[in-house]
Amino acid sequence: MALSSIQYKPTLLAGVLLVAAVAFNLVVLHLELSLDAPDLNDNVLHYALIERTVEAVERGEDVTDHWVPYIAQGYPLFHHYQHLPHVATALLYKLLGEIVPLRTLFLGVGYLLLCTFPLSIYWTGRRLGFSALPYTQLWGMWLLGPAVAGLYLTLRHGRAYAGTVALLAATLLSHTVLGYVALVSGGLFVLLAGRTDLVVRIGRLALVLFLVSVVASYFLVPFFLDRPYMNRSVWEELGKYDAYGWAWTLKALLRGELLDAGRFPALTLLGGLGLLVCLVRGREDERYRLLPAFFGLWLLLYFGRPTWGGLLGLLPLSGDLHFHRLIAPVHLGAIGLAGAGLAWLWEKAIALGGASAEWGDALRSESRLGTLKRALQRWGAITVVGLLMPVLLIPAYRERVEYMATNNDWKRHALAALEADAGEFSALLADLRTRPPARVYAGRSVNWGKDYRFGYVPVYALLVTNQIDSPGYLYHALSLNADIEGYLNPSRPETFNLFNLRYVVAPAEWPAPPLARSLASYGRHRLYEMETSGYFDLVDSDAVLYGVRAGWFDAVRTWLHSDMVASKQHPLIVFGSKPESDSAMDMDVMPFSTVAELRYAAREPCGRMLSEKVAGNSYAVAFEAVRSCWLLFKATYHPGWRAMLDGQPVPARMLAPSFVGLKVEPGRHSAELTYQTKPIRAWLRFAGLVTLLLIVVVEWQRARSRVVR
């Protein structure tokens, strides 16, 4: 290729580099698709959510808000959690006529998103006008760059509202934190404006925020209305919420650890060069001010609560924000700076190469010796940069190859362990599916469960992947019962009944739990049964505990360690101020802080369960009560539960720890509890789609008007 063609066709060089990056990913990551080993990481949760969403489609349930029973005593996860990736994958599976296996589709979508991430970065840069030169977070990271670029262009030029709003809403619904990052970045883009443009950009930002809020309102409105029933886990590492402070962050950045993970600091060096380039060029071009400003803003916020403390309260919705996740926009900004640094090197090399018409004139007028000398100098500059780029980037590519090799070895190890099991575990799963539904205990990540595994994959992870309700690990901690599971004590028989741990799966060398009955053996696996009442029980509730949401956990933890669990005393839980006493129920009304003072003698059993049925969002039970008591449903309380007792609607209340309770009188009864989406969600979803369509129509009309003029 002639040198002049490189100068006049920079997109060709960028295209070659882009294709090379995607091709590298396609080759190195191909085993992510072809080596289908059991999941160990967050894919356990995400694949289970996709399976449940497919089931919701088949049952006619709301695919954006349904009950997910497998983790933390169940929870309507999509009510409070990003869900666009799961819904899109499930609907694609159905649209393809289920020809492609769901597991293959899940792995394939993740593989393509990983491999094509360079396209997202390239698209972002091109939209900004620069030279050509965990599953939900992957979706969010792919969308974040284009969403940020679209927002910047809309604020600067007042156009492309439809695309910007759609991208921002999609990012928000794919990864809530990254959507938040994109929207907050709008404030930065306003500040980059000059005085004459400042008010205009503020108005445009307000309009974009309003439109995004409307489009995503079906998720945002219920999210905020029911926030008291979304847990902030006490088990999370403090740094996950607060981040690590300015000193640790800057040291990690300067050492190359923040961007290069301990390898040769190529990205750190290129980012530093790009920062200098942008600071110089930014005096005349706002786009170059954008890159360091974006990186600087999110680096400062990544310092977190140890640095900023109460000042972060000025940031909207920062109270429950996971500040450690702000590393994502820091990395995105650093990638932009590194690209600017690398592009500057190529520009200088090509300029020194003299790829212009003047170069040809100069060659014709010079002596042969001078021509050769000049050609060597010019091609030498290109060669130096061409060699420098692999020197800088090869360490990063090599580290990624080595990482994937280790990852693939883990996968092969797990597959080999499953193959050596000769189908015994599959037979165990088939056995469990034929038995009455209940939760299955296979140890937890903090006890023997972590060592009961196939390769590096614990058995409790395989249970969740196979849609079996199991409390082995908190793949999400949004359920109020998530933190309570941390105090699950398998040495107490009442614990098994409390959480409906009817089945225990354990390795042959592990001693059977007390009072367990052996059911079957499958190779090295043993299946036991504990006596439980099922997903329902009849209990007493002689007290009401009330107070602010923050005091709830300490109260129920105290309750869990008390004798009230064995005596089936489950106080009524009320968030807020002291409720009026109910003389008909004759209940003690006490603040959360006094729970340790509760003393109630054990009573005769309230009655017995006759039958129960589990199906998607619905749980049904037939029972006989011998006296006034409460029907306890051992699933996480949420305002979305609707209860029917003997065909009549009755209020569902929250009983300790965070289960669902219905007041019942003596006699034989039937009850059904169904998780139902609030009607407002469907109306808001419709309003959001109509709003997005109207934006498209308005912009189309504006475009037509400009063409006519």
pLDDT in tens, 418-464: 999 989 999 999 999 999 999 999 999 888 999 999 999 999 999 99
Flag whether 154 is in a domain.
yes
| pLDDT category of residue 319 using cuts at 50, 70 and 90 | confident
Going from the C-alpha of 37 to that of each of 34, 154, 299, the distances in angstroms are: 9, 44, 37
Tell me the mean pLDDT in the region 227-247.
Answer: 86
pLDDT at 453: 92
* Count of structural domains within the chain: 5
CB-CB neighbours of 457 under 10 Å? 23
Taking 3-state DSSP, the helix, strand and coil percentages for the chain, each rounded to the nearest 5, stand at 55, 15, 30
Domain co-membership, 647 together with 550: yes
Angle, vertex CA 209, rays to CA 477 and CA 282, nearest 5 = 100
Return the SS3 of 368: helix
Torsion angle of the four alpha carbons 310, 311, 317, 322, in this order, in degrees rounded to the nearest 10: -70
- Cβ(598)–Cβ(570) below 8 Å: no
**pLDDT tens digit string along 101-152?**
999 999 999 888 888 888 887 777 767 666 554 666 666 777 888 888 888 8
Does 89 score more than 80 pLDDT? yes
| C-beta of residue 175 within 8 angstroms of C-beta of residue 139 | yes
For the chain, percent of residues with pLDDT exceeding 90? 52
Tens-place pLDDT, residues 599-609: 888 888 999 99
In a domain, 149, yes or no: yes
My answer on whether 567 and 641 are in the same domain is yes
pLDDT of 7 higher than 60: no
Positive/negative CA dihedral, 178, 332, 118, 394 = negative
347 found inside a domain: no
Asked if 653 and 545 sit in the same domain, the reply is yes
Residue 641 in this model has a pLDDT that exceeds 70: yes
Same domain (yes/no): 475, 550: no
- 409 and 437 inside one domain: no
Regarding whether 666 and 558 lie in a shared domain, the answer is yes
Residue 300: which H helix or E strand, with range?
Answer: helix 286-302
Identity (one letter) of the amino acid at 375?
A
Beta-ladder partners of 692: none
Residues 680-702 have a mean pLDDT of: 92
Residue 582 has pLDDT above 90, yes or no: no
**Residue that finishes a domain, picked among 292, 320, 342:** 342
Higher model confidence: residue 461 or residue 386? 461
Whether 393 has a pLDDT exceeding 70, the answer reads: yes
Q: For residue 709, what pLDDT is reported?
A: 58
Together in a domain, 544 and 666: yes
Is residue 656 situated within a structural domain?
Answer: yes
| Whole-number pLDDT of residue 489 | 83
pLDDT of residue 514: 82
Which amino acid appears at position 443 of this protein?
Answer: G
Instruction: With a cut of 80, say whether residue 363 has pLDDT above it.
Output: no
Mean per-residue pLDDT for 362-374?
Answer: 52
Give the pLDDT confidence score for residue 357 in this predicted structure: 39
Spatial strand order in the sheet of 667-675: 607-615, 618-625, 667-675, 641-645, 648-650
pLDDT tens for residues 269-314?
A: 889 998 998 888 887 788 788 889 999 999 999 999 999 988 888 8
Same domain? For 123 and 212 the reply is yes
Secondary element (H or E) of residue 513:
none
Q: How many residues does the chain have?
A: 709
Range 612-638 average pLDDT: 94
Residue at 700 is within a domain: yes
- Residues 702, 684: Cα–Cα separation, whole Å: 27
Question: Which tens digits make up the pLDDT trace of 407-425?
Answer: 889 889 999 999 999 899 9
> How many Å apart are CA 153 and CA 161, to the nearest integer?
9
State whether 616 and 555 are in the same domain. yes
104 within domain boundaries: no
Q: The domain containing residue 246 runs over which residues?
A: 237-342
Q: Is 555 helix (H, G, I), strand (E, B) or coil?
A: helix
* 571 and 617 assigned to the same domain: yes
Same domain, 358 and 324: no
Q: Three-state SS for 671?
A: strand
Q: How far is CA 331 from CA 288, 302, 525, in A?
A: 17, 11, 45
Provide the pLDDT for residue 11.
62
CA neighbor of 136 nearest in space, from 106, 116, 102: 106
Per-residue confidence at 215, pLDDT binned at 50, 70, 90?
A: very high
Q: Does residue 189 fall inside a structural domain?
A: yes
Query: In 421-457, where does DSSP find H-type helix?
Result: 424-434
Boundary of a domain, candidates 506, 529, 552: 529
Q: What is the pLDDT of residue 585?
A: 57
Residue 169 has pLDDT above 60, yes or no: yes
* Domain match, 307 and 215 both: no
| pLDDT over 70 (residue 381) | no
Of the residues 529, 549, 566, the one at which a domain ends: 529
Rounded Cα distance, 399 and 115, in Å: 17
Domain-embedded: residue 25: yes
Location of structure tokens 């492609």: 100
Q: What is the mean pLDDT of the chain?
A: 86
Q: Work out whether strand 641-645 and strand 667-675 pair parallel, antiparallel, or are unpaired.
A: antiparallel
